[in-house]
Chains A and B, each alone.
Chain A
Amino acid sequence: MNAVRSEGITPMNRQQQPAKEAKGAIKIEKVEKVYDPTGAAVQAVDRCSLDIGAGEICMIVGPSGCGKTTLLNAIAGFHSITDGAIYLDGDMLCGPGKPQAEPGPDRVVVFQNGALFPWKTNLENVAFGPIMQGTMSKAEANEKARDLMATAGLSGTENNYPGEISSGVRRRVEIVRALMNDPKVLLLDEPFRALDSLTKSVMHEALLDIYYKNKVTIFFITHDLEEAIFLGHRVVIMTTRPCKPKKMLEVDIPHPRDYSVLTSQRFRELMEETVEAVHEEAVKAFEAGEKEM
């Protein structure tokens, strides 16, 4: 097995890193999470260490229920950790003496099934963050929201409710809503999972397009290896529960990328290189699941 040491995976190659104005380096240091509500301690994350460079697209791949989302929730501040520490640009988010980070607009989550507020129009949804933070007046927020929606090809949907637009457009609105907060980190938890594969491919290019305009760090959880290699600077394959990095893959296909990458020789090689490691963990997860039943 060519597993990498569970701690201290080194940051990606510096030359691969995008623009220098990028911010939002995440340092995950020996993070551990044990769920123990009933006395039966379940270890979701085990001494997981990972350095994500500022402006990096870091793709986290792992089997269902492996604890990837636990890690994301710890960064976002939705859940506590039981050991270790997480830093954002050198500042401790959570760690010794502070088990749970505070949620904040510098780390915004885009959820698997979407969390646009159905009772607000798309524009109201996008303008929500700055108004809540008090950084903009309602008029300013609306104006910026309109601009940002226009750059993401969402003009004309401002006054629709999320229930009136397709799921692909909804997901794009949600990413724009997250970007409105000028976050350092975008936390994406399988955002395109529920989309059909054609819509998904459009969304991938849309996401990259948005990314090239706003260089934020992207922490992207997925099951889909093809998606991971197509989007990421780096793909981190996680072990099944407890979750820690098993294998790390630098994707040396230069950005900006478009869909022609998918048919390239290099893409196929990278797929081959990782597919075995992913399959191995998937089988382990499956068998562990059978045992539980």
Chain B
Amino acid sequence: MKTVVIGLGNPILTDDSVGIRVSRVIGDLLSQQPETAESSDTIEIKEVYAGGIRLMDAMTGYDRACIVDAMVTGRFRPGEVSEFRLEDLCSTRNISCTHDTNLSTALEFGRMLGLHLPTTIKIWGIEACDVTSFGEQLTAGIEHAVPVAVSAILSALFGELQIDAAADENVNVSVNVEGAIP
């Protein structure tokens, strides 16, 4: 099974970077695992900076996707980590006032074209405080969410992999991120 873990957000926009930070920690942890040449299970870590078709592009070629992003709903405490299904988020396909379209429409677009897109998409949202100020630090309450989200995503990843890959427990990991700014 090919899995992609996507940190979504803007890396220099204070709490908007929290998804990217979570994905970097997961990448660091997984890259410390010994690599095995034989396994067919792979996990790749990506950073994505815009949604819609760009996000769909990043998921193309994978069987499973885990996405982690900041959110500002006012319904959760800052730093609270919540897991969503795609259908929880995007019950409609309305075009929105963005540069292309929403994720569910982008995914349906990709599927119509026969692109290889994940059959399982899990989404973690982290309630954020400040997503409109430039800054490289998370606000205090959000910093604590990073290990919580990392733990939740790793549990989801390896809980399933143990079941799916009973005959082959080894997982290859590659980290594909652009790194921090200078």
A and B pair up = no
The interface of chain A, by Cβ under 8 A from chain B, is none
The interface of chain B, by Cβ under 8 A from chain A, is none
